[in-house]
Amino acid sequence: MLAAWLEVDGVADLLGRASEVSGTDLVAHGTTSDAETIRDTAVAQPLLVATALASLRAVLEAPPGADLAQAVPGRVDAAAGHSVGELAAAAVAGVLRDEEALALVAVRGAAMARAAAATPTGMSAVLGGDPDEVLARLETLGLVPANVNGGGQVVAAGTLEALAALTAEPPTRARVLPLQVAGAFHTSHMAPAVDELAAAAAGVAPRDPAVTLLGNADGAVVSTGADALDRLVAQVARPVRWDLCQATLADLGVTGLLEVAPGGVLTGLARRTLPGVETVALKSPADLDAARDLVRRHAGGAQPSPSTTTQESTS
């Protein structure tokens, strides 16, 4: 995941500092750790946020040590993050400094890992099917639509027994794919983690967004730093409405969408739900030239410049 990025100027130093702030050896986890290790959400979450921020810094060629938000205005007009990606999006929008986002995600990941260990739970993607029938089936089984992603994709979360029943008897014309995650994120099973994250967030002084920032809960534009921070805490136990975030991006008139590393999933959804919006996914440093070209061509014109999206591994 990170081996190629470490060859990009400045990235190794950035990830080294991110490791210190988060208390996690992100370089080792991004290069040599096995899948079982990275599946631990206490590892995965800091790794995802650090990679997102480092890759965007590489695109914008932000000076080392400088606040990322200083490189964003005029080049990125809107930021949105899927689940844990919302912390990275808050840093892109200037609500949080990089170090604050990394410190909070370390608390978030560890707290959610503890909450997940309390009860065997998980998540499964439901692809296709009639939307109303899918939601009705989840309700019958006591499952939560934890991620409503648009493009015919809903992620169900709950007990392993209920997820097994969903797999055994899926909704008509739908496929169910179990996800390799630690627990039922964005459900009431994560309530204990909300309290832990709230205590950590109480020590942060958020700034108001410098660019348009969208909230996971409803796709709304978040106007104040205080509201953004409150939403970051609450969303740990609330569903992600990525479908509504994409609808807002369409309403804003966004013409280009850059998905920061590890990219791929959200641009795939955007191709189905945001026709006509040009997308670039940062899957490796080989995509940096295309990303910079996207920013250059879409920024500063009559239409808004590109939006930046960040994701979590559950999307």
Asked about 186 being catalytic, the answer comes back as yes
The last residue of one of the domains, among 178, 206, 229, is 178
Contact by Cβ (8 Å): 283, 233: no
User: Which residue, of 178, 212, 228, is where some domain finishes?
Assistant: 178
Is 315 a member of any domain? Answer: no
Q: Are residues 92 and 63 part of one domain?
A: yes
Is 212 part of a structural domain of the chain? yes
Same domain, 33 and 108: yes
Are residues 170 and 63 part of one domain? Answer: no
Collapse the DSSP code of 108 into the 3-class scheme (helix H, G, I; strand E, B; otherwise coil) and give the result. Answer: helix
Euclidean distance between CA atoms 167 and 175, whole angstroms: 8
pLDDT band per the 50, 70, 90 thresholds, residue 73: confident
Q: How confident is the model at residue 87 (pLDDT cuts 50, 70, 90)?
A: very high
Condensed to tens digits (0 to 9), the pLDDT of residues 88-145 reads 999 999 999 999 999 999 999 999 999 999 999 999 999 999 999 999 999 999 999 9
Look at residue 315 in the predicted model and tell me its pLDDT.
32
Whole-structure pTM value: 0.92
Burial category of 38 from C-beta neighbours within 10 Å (exposed 0-12, middle 13-18, buried 19 and up): middle
CATH code: domain of residue 147: 3.30.70.250
**pLDDT at residue 50 greater than cutoff 80:** yes
Q: What's residue 306's pLDDT?
A: 65
Say how many domains are in the chain. Answer: 2
Instruction: Assess whether 159 and 257 both reside in one domain.
Output: no
The Cα–Cα gap between 313 and 299 comes to 29
Which of these is catalytic: 55, 83, 313, 315?
83
Residue 16 sits in a domain of what CATH number?
3.40.366.10
1, 113, 122, 155 from 145: Cα distances, Å = 29, 20, 12, 6
pLDDT digits over 242-292, tens only?
A: 999 999 999 999 999 999 999 899 999 999 999 999 999 999 999 999 999
Closest CA to 48 of 8, 126, 102, 95: 102
Structural domain span for residue 56: 5-116+188-310
82, 186, 189, 298: the active-site residue:
186
Output the pLDDT for position 165.
98
Residue 173 located in a structural domain: yes
Q: Are residues 208 and 257 in the same domain?
A: yes
92 and 199 in a single domain? The answer is yes
pLDDT score for 307: 74
Q: Is 292 domain-assigned?
A: yes
Inside any domain, residue 223: yes
Question: Is 90 contained in some domain?
Answer: yes
Q: Which of 156, 178, 200 is the last residue of a domain?
A: 178
| 244, 276: one domain | yes
Which of helix, strand or coil describes residue 142?
coil
Residues 288 and 73: their CA atoms lie apart, in Å, by 19
pLDDT (0 to 100) of residue 263: 85
Q: Are residues 67 and 142 in the same domain?
A: no
* Residue 312 pLDDT: 53
In the predicted model, what is the mean pLDDT of residues 78-90? Answer: 96
83 noted as active-site residue: yes
| Percent of the chain with pLDDT strictly greater than 70 | 96
Give the pLDDT of residue 300: 56
- For residues 192 and 283, state if they share a domain: yes
Same domain as 194, residue 169: no
Q: Residues 232, 108: one domain?
A: yes
Cα distance between residue 313 and residue 315, in whole Å: 6
Residue 151 in 3-state DSSP?
A: coil
Nearest to 231 by CA among 206, 259, 261: 206
- Strand-strand pairing, 240-241 and 121-128: unpaired
- Same domain? 162 vs 285: no
